[in-house]
Amino acid sequence: MDPRTQAMLSAPPLPLLARLAAPNVVAFLVQAVVSMAEVWFVGRLGPEALAAMALVFPLLMLNQMMSGGALGGAVASSIARALGAGDRARAETLLWHALTLAGAFALAMALAFALFGELLLRTLGGEGTVLSQALGYGAILFPACIVLWLVNTLSAVLRGTGNMQLPARVMLLSAAVQVPLSGVLILGAFGVPPPFKISVA
């Protein structure tokens, strides 16, 4: 029996659970910090931009929860079961099926927003400038959600292999890039013009 499996079976439960949970806890704390930073940046553009972001936010969270939780949980558990049974070929097959499903769901979400996005945002209370900015945000966000689906699915695959640290490191690295890049693109810096007139009120 390898040392890792031996530790899982015989180590004291509380330190073991804390050590296993630490990468996920750190990753989700970093994700929360990134979200708050982006909200602050958008808030500098004025209340209408912030309202437009808030209007689209539930749809973004739907993508995140479906890719990381619903599909991600199923992928992680199925990969773990295949590897636990010593069936590496099945695990590899599951990987490709998972990536195919992620791409299909991302495409379906983008298509649904293209067809029904305006109706849904109006139903949620969007109107006027807020609605037009929300539609512009969604028109960029939803086609780009393929990246979110693929990253979350690959992270689930790694979790299924027992590797919790690599997904957490990738999230830390992406946060280190995303926060300053968001500031540059949203507020304008280094020659990049801001998309809207900034309100500091």
Whole-model pTM above 0.85?
Answer: no
In the chain, what are the domain boundaries?
35-40+47-163
Residue range 33-73, pLDDT digits in tens: 888 998 899 888 889 999 999 999 999 999 989 998 889 99
Q: Where are the alpha helices (DSSP H) in the chain?
A: 3-10, 13-43, 47-65, 71-84, 88-123, 128-160, 165-187
C-alpha span between 80 and 23 (Å, rounded): 18
Cα 137 to its chain centre, rounded Å, is 16
Q: Give the rounded percent of residues in the chain with a pLDDT score beyond 70.
A: 95
Across the chain, mean pLDDT equals 87
Average pLDDT of the segment spanning 8-14:
84
Average pLDDT of the segment spanning 19-42:
86
Q: Count CA atoms closer than 13 A to 163's CA, side-chain side.
A: 12
